[in-house]
A and B are shown apart, each in its own frame.
Chain A
Amino acid sequence: MENSVSSQNSLVSVQNLSFYRGNKKIFDDISLEFERGKVTAIMGPSGTGKTTLLKLIGGQLHPKQGAVIVDGNNVHRLRRAELYNLRKRMGMLFQSGALLTDMNVFDNVAFPLREHTHLPESMIRTLVLMKLQAVGLRGARNLMPNELSGGMARRIALARAIALDPMMIMYDEPFTGQDPISKGALVQLIKSLNNILGLTSIIVSHDVQETAEIADYIYVISEGKIVGQGTPKEIEQSESDWVQQFMTGAADGPVHFHYPAKDYVDDLLSTGKRY
């Protein structure tokens, strides 16, 4: 019901997607809609392929089945040049920041502008300083990536991701490994950038609290399937065991504590020969 309403206004639409890594099934026929101008979160335990989903949306991986439609384009049907043109309008924030380590902060943010535009250096300077000001790090422009803290690196990467004024940004685990202050700063930043720049945001995360605070809509994924979806409130009240286990952080539940193995007693009593 939710889907049919949102699909008319969705910027990114994932349709009946299946993806395998080797023989391991990562996604099994999942469909998601990401509405324009909204913050949509994808949550789920680590190892469920959340990052893989972002790479599928960005066209870096190819699905076995199904389609990803971004702004009316079928990502995996595009020719290379068309895909690259589309990517100029898609920002992505990697978990590590993925800053180029041989350039300072200023040149990192200027990188997409220098690669894709023929703007004069004076204008690039103005644009870069504006982007850095937006993430509060204009004063750090001369630092090298190895001199930045994890939180700063992510904010610089965010400034770089918005350098070309994209229509959407994909955040890969933006809060992981951050102290409470940087977490708070990132939460604020993601929300305000989304509203001020009119972006569409996709957040992949397992930080329940922070994500619920800014997301308009949440999908919970586990073992290749969508196990719950709705507004943060609906998710909180969900009766699904999967969702409850994830939101409350129970060690055992539908997601087992133990990695699949043969029977414990049998295993202990067996000879232990290598096979």
Chain B
Amino acid sequence: MIEFLQNLGKNTRTSFTKLGRGTFFLLQATSGIVSVLPRPRLLLNQMHSIGVLSFLIITISGLFVGMVLGLQGYYILSDFGAEETLGVMVAASLVRELGPVVTALLFAGRAGSALTAEIGLMKATEQLSGMEMMAVDPIKRIISPRFLAGFLSMPLLAALFSAVGIIGGQMVGSGLLGVDEGAYWSQMRANIDFQDDIVNGVIKSIVFGFVASWIALFEGYDAIPTSEGVSRATTRTVVNSAFSILGLDFILTALMFGD
């Protein structure tokens, strides 16, 4: 019993210390953004490797998710003779929920794990230490551009995901199952609200991008500089990002869509 309490105390303390280090790291990374702005090349390079290189996985996943939504939506709505509203259903699910959430989960798996491994290995091979000795602050030079690129890329990727998904839903709905194409689009345009649906979805994706980038970069920076340490950190990035994204999604949804 005593041992259990001791372990509990020890683990709690470790977690809180880590949270403290993480917060301090976040402050440093955020304040480093100022020094990235005069050097757009650093940012563009990172947006390329974090954002552009995630294009394919986001597009293909978006297409399939949209197609499945089209199928499932049609089966349910046609029971009520409401298949004309398929467009609204597909678009609302994507823009409000699946776009930001699934994109963020894919982002954590594709870009987040890569960031953690990259930073962790830079630490293990003394590249970060070497930079410090060359009087270059690794937070400003390495972390901040990646952080900024991460949370700028996320809303763009989420928008892409939703757009491709809506096209996927339309392909299945009107192409395969015979929902009227005009109804699909006009119902969507009439019922999707810019403020309620689109802006809220974008806010969600910005928050997820912020959190996923923070977790990925911090886990890499805080990794034990050995091969095992980096591999564990990469796993933690994916697991912690998934938990945080899904948990935050619930909180944000409750705040945004509750009357």
State the A residues within 8 Å of B (CB): 55, 58, 60, 84-85, 87-88, 90, 92, 94-96, 98-101, 111-112, 115-116, 157, 160
Contacts and interface: CB of A to CB of B under 8 A. Distances in A.
Nearest to B128: A98
B136 A60 contact: no
B181 interface: no
Interface string B126-139: 11011111111100
A230 B23 CA distance: 49
A87 B126 contact: no
Contact of A85 (B129, B131, B135): B135
Contacts of A84: 135, 137
B127 A101 contact: yes
B141 A98 contact: no
A197 B156 CA distance: 52
Interface in B114-162: 122, 125-127, 129-137, 141
A118 to B, nearest CB: 12
A94 B129 contact: yes
A84 to B, nearest CB: 4
Contacts of A98: 125-127, 129-130
Interface of B: 122, 125-127, 129-137, 141
Contacts of A96: 125-126
Contacts of B132: 58, 60, 87
15 contacts: A55-B129, A58-B133, A60-B132, A84-B137, A87-B132, A87-B135, A92-B133, A98-B125, A98-B127, A99-B127, A112-B135, A112-B136, A115-B135, A115-B136, A116-B135
A164 to B, nearest CB: 8
A90 B133 CA distance: 8
Contacts of A111: 134, 136
B134 A87 contact: yes
A116 B131 CA distance: 12
B134 A112 contact: yes
Contacts of A94: 126, 129-130, 133
Contacts of A95: 126
A115 B129 contact: no
Given A88-B135, A112-B134, 17 more contacts: A60-B132, A84-B137, A87-B132, A87-B133, A87-B135, A90-B133, A92-B130, A94-B126, A94-B129, A95-B126, A98-B126, A99-B127, A100-B127, A100-B130, A100-B131, A157-B130, A160-B134
In this complex, the member of B131, B132, B135 whose beta carbon has the largest number of chain A beta carbons within 10 angstroms is B135
Nearest to B133: A92
In the A-B complex, the 9 residue pairs with the smallest Cβ-Cβ separation, listed nearest first, are A98-B130, A87-B135, A98-B126, A84-B135, A92-B133, A88-B135, A94-B126, A112-B134, A115-B136
B116 to A, nearest CB: 16
A111 B122 CA distance: 16
Nearest to B130: A98
Contacts of B136: 111-112, 115-116
A87 B131 CA distance: 10
A88 B136 CA distance: 9
